[in-house]
Structure 1
Amino acid sequence: MALAKDAKIMNRIDRLTAIMLKLQSKRFVTIDDVAEHFDISERTVFRDIKALGEAGVPIGFEKDKGYFIVEGYYIPPVTFTKEEAGAILLAGKLLERQGDKSLVDEFESALTKVRAVLKNTQKDYVQNLEKYIEIVSPSVPVEKAFPDLFLNDIKNALVSHQVLSFEYYANYSDTFSSREVEPLGICHYANHWHLIAYCRMRNGVRDFRTDRITKLQVLDQHFDPSLRDDFKEHIFVRQMQEDVREVKILFKKNVARLIGDQRYYYGFIDEQKTTDGVEMTFMVGECDHFARWLLMFTDAVRILNSTQLEDQMQQLIDQLAAHYTASLI
């Protein structure tokens, strides 16, 4: 019984420490946030907050916002376990492979600060672990027409609700257009960062690939984001309904095993083995890009449910045939 009691006490001590860290990580933390995060009741949250206050941690409360640590009070530097430090190292390696230079530099700076507070044995662990980590990306061509230089400016504008002005390159027309937008959020998909913003020229929410943005300026104009649609709704609802469609492709077995991670660059979500091969499901936006990828597999693929993609493939095949026929004349 004594051991069980000691374990219970230690669990609460760990939880109180974690609650302090959570309070320090945000300006306000609600009771619901704490209760859900630690899987405890609201009554237990009240008791823990009271215990922290009695221990000398100056915790305040603001109606409709939550608890906060009074400004000027700082918790001593956080220590990490070797496993936590190793996880941060792995995250950094993955980030390096994304090619987002503007983010890699900041992460490396943060990782240096993490290393600085590690114990010597933990530093040795991370240093040795790094020798045995390598992230290998599939050799799929990624467009790098423009450097992705403006993520920091975009992040700052998102937080301060400031209007952005920039030149945007449209790949389909090979032209630039001037845009003035109200930034609503950023997301990462299809190997690129995307800015979701209300475009004042188009009078609607639009998706801008950040590496196609040039000459960006943060204007001295502010806007109210509550007057615009939620950017997450645009990503997960509108895009799925309007721009992206489900496509099923049957690959011959001898080809399917060679595809590897390439499929994840083209919206892969599922696969099923059949007697005829491997049926893969993709969420596809722009058919032309996807069709060009499928062409490399020649007669080893069959489109199962998209006449639009079949038409696009036929057009590409006709263009290819015309090109080589002309060269033989």
Structure 2
Amino acid sequence: MNKTERLLAIVMELQRRKLLTADELAEVLGVSVRTIYRDMQVLSEAGVPIIGETGLGYSLMEGYFLPPISFTVEEAVSLLLGTEFTENRFDPTFRKSARSSRRKIEAILSRPIREETNRIQRGIRLIQKDEMVIMTRERVNLGIIREAMLEGKKLRFTYHKRVAEADENRVTVRTVSPFGLAHDEQNGWLLVASCDLREDIRHFRVSRISDLTVIDDTFQIPDNFNLQSYRPKDTRSIRVCALFNPEVTDKVEEANNYYMESAESKEDGYHVTFRVRQPEELLSWILGWGADVIVTEPESFKNRVREEIEKMKERY
């Protein structure tokens, strides 16, 4: 990054984050604090209205904006793919905003950049799950959840959870304080919320929520809670080991099972260790590999797999 690019980057960071210290700017841009001090002097002499507050940092005078920014092809593709994801996976309000953002981005691109961006986009596809199966309920629920989060109000809903060890669907009514939304590739959208029933933070698949309503009870997110740094408690304490046929090693790796903890290729096959809450959480997945897998431990789960195979034989 040359000096001109760095000066532009400083102004953009101040526009984006409002207030930054010299140390923070130095870390973002990968330069020394002394360099930031010199750059601030250059910007001030060039007429950029930078305000330096002792002990707080630097900010831009209210109302100052950079003129329209040009994008590289890679930057434009990244932004447009982001709007496509938002349009496919968010509620109607954000879908509309995503379309509007896409049009604005395309409008400011120069013709050569726009043509090259379109060419690259044609070679990239975001594959979505079936529209009717996943999207409809998620989209409706996402809008209601966002409304509750903005207004600081609690939610009440019916939650449908598959209980593997009991081989049944458990239905409960929950009242929660919505702290945030997270997107997981395997589970889709997850609601992170403080559950009144469990008196703790819980995660709920948005696609499993029905009868969702915003109630009048209000809440406040604790000061010590940060969604970006939050990590759920790991309650998986049972270890399951399995030996896969070497010929399916690549397929097992690609499956990337959520419960997989470690894996190693040896002469006799592909050794995989899982960590679960209940072994039954793996039952259907293990059975799906047929004769290409053998459960090696625990013995109780090996017996459970045998029992299921016997039931299958009776049905055939």
The residue correspondences of 1:284-303 to structure 2 (distance < 5 A) are 284=276, 287-303=279-295
For 1:310 and 1:210, how far apart are their aligned partners in 2?
33
Q: Does 1:85 align with 2:76?
A: yes
Which residue pairs with 1:253 in the alignment? 246
RMSD: 3.6
Matches for 1:235-274 after TM superposition, within 5 Å = 235-236=231-232, 238-239=233-234, 242-243=235-236, 247-259=240-252, 261=254, 263-268=255-260, 271-274=263-266
> Alpha-carbon deviation of 1:65?
5.5
**2:161–2:171: 8 Å Cα contact kept in structure 1?**
no
- Identify which range, 82-91 or 18-27, moves more after superposition: 82-91
Q: CA deviation at 1:117?
A: 1.2
Whether contact under 8 Å (1:162, 1:219) holds in the other structure is: no
Correspondence for 1:166: 156
Cα distance in 1 for residues equivalent to 2:55 and 2:222: 20
> Could you tell me how far apart the structure 2 residues matched to 1:67 and 1:59 are?
7
How has the CA–CA distance of structure 1 residues 171 and 151 changed in structure 2, closer, same or farther, with 3 Å as cutoff? same
1:286: how far off?
5.9
- Structure 1 residues 291, 67: CA separation in 2 closer, same or farther (over 3 Å shift)? farther
Q: Distance in 2 between matches of 1:133 and 1:199?
A: 40
Partner of 1:196: 192
Give SS of 2:101's match: helix
TM-score, scaled relative to structure 1: 0.76
* Contact kept? 2:159, 2:174, Cα under 8 Å: no
How far did residue 40 of structure 1 move?
1.6
Residue number in structure 1 paired with 2:209: 213
Q: How many residues align?
A: 305
TM-score by length of 2: 0.78
After TM superposition, list the pairs within 5 Å mapping 1:12-161 onto structure 2.
12-61=3-52, 66-91=57-82, 95=85, 100-102=89-91, 106-135=97-126, 144=134, 147-149=137-139, 150-155=141-146, 157-158=148-149, 160=150
Counterpart secondary structure, 1:34: helix
How far, CA to CA, are the matches of 1:168 and 1:260 in structure 2? 35
Task: Kindly provide the amino acid, as one letter, of the partner of residue 221 in structure 1.
Answer: T
Q: Could you say what secondary structure the match of 2:137 adopts?
A: coil
Deviates more, 1:170-179 or 1:291-300: 170-179
Change (3 A) 1:156 1:165: closer
Matches of 1:271 and 1:177 in 2, distance apart? Answer: 37
Aligned pair partner of 1:184 in 179, 184, 188: 179
